Amino acid sequence: EAGVTQFPSHSVIEKGQTVTLRCDPISGHDNLYWYRRVMGKEIKFLLHFVKESKQDESGMPNNRFLAERTGGTYSTLKVQPAELEDSGVYFCASSQGLAKETQYFGPGTRLLVL
Amino acid sequence: QQQVKQSPQSLIVQKGGISIINCAYENTAFDYFPWYQQFPGKGPALLIAIRPDVSEKKEGRFTISFNKSAKQFSLHIMDSQPGDSATYFCAASKGRTSGSRLTFGEGTQLTVNP
């Protein structure tokens, strides 16, 4: 069974540019989460999808971040325009259902904004 | 306000020794406490988890000790091996009723010397 995949693995962009991160969860997992780790700090929750609906987006830092989950399958996280403080590792995780808490993480996308 | 505090930030242990990582939490609504292990270039992977109705859980060389009254929990790695060298994150969530978003500690970089 394939795990959670993320693309790209690395991205280096200039301040003001746009970047789109993609996450493919484990097949059949209704729950999809985005997290971010900045500069060796804690991994912070960004948002949670249940199928195609946003269940909780309270962790999104501001309106420069837009997440979508098309048809309840893969998800994208767009940052527009990117700022220096957006640099970090963006993780996606998925889980099978609310009754099963185990979240399976992807390898992350390392974003560097210059 | 950081809801889960983890220490130490880094830890060096000799092969065969015991590694101990501590976490403390604020929110008494947390009811699920997982530990994640992350190797370089990989995403965090669930190592072991505990619920507050038990004080200890052991899986192989890994043990979680949980102190509900003190709002603290710790990971003990017995007979530490060089292959255990990784970053360890403690986390907490409110479990089934709240979408299982994870609140992480800052991570501990463990190095096990041969």
Within 8 A of A93 by CB-CB distance, chain B residues are 43
Within 8 A of B39 by CB-CB distance, chain A residues are none
**Contacts of residue A47, Cβ cutoff 8 Å, sequence gap at least 6:** A33, A34, A54, A55, A56, A57, A58, A59, A60, A67
Q: A100 pLDDT exceeds 60?
A: no
CA distance to partner chain A, nearest, from residue B8 (Å) = 13
Pairing of strands A31-37, B10-14: unpaired
CA distance B56 to B65: 5
Give the CA count within 13 Å in the CB-facing half-sphere of A65.
18
Give me the sheet containing A75-79, strands edge to edge.
A5-7, A19-24, A75-79, A65-69
Is the Cβ–Cβ distance between B12 and B21 less than 8 Å?
Answer: no
List, for residues B60-106, the tens digit of each pLDDT value.
999 999 999 999 999 999 999 999 999 999 999 986 555 578 999 99
Q: B58 pLDDT exceeds 70?
A: yes
pLDDT-derived band at A40 (thresholds 50, 70, 90) equals confident
Q: Judge: A42–B4 Cβ closer than 8 Å, yes or no.
A: yes
- As a whole number, mean pLDDT of residues A56-61 equals 93
List, for residues A74-98, the tens digit of each pLDDT value.
999 999 999 999 999 999 999 987 6
**pLDDT for the residue B103:** 95
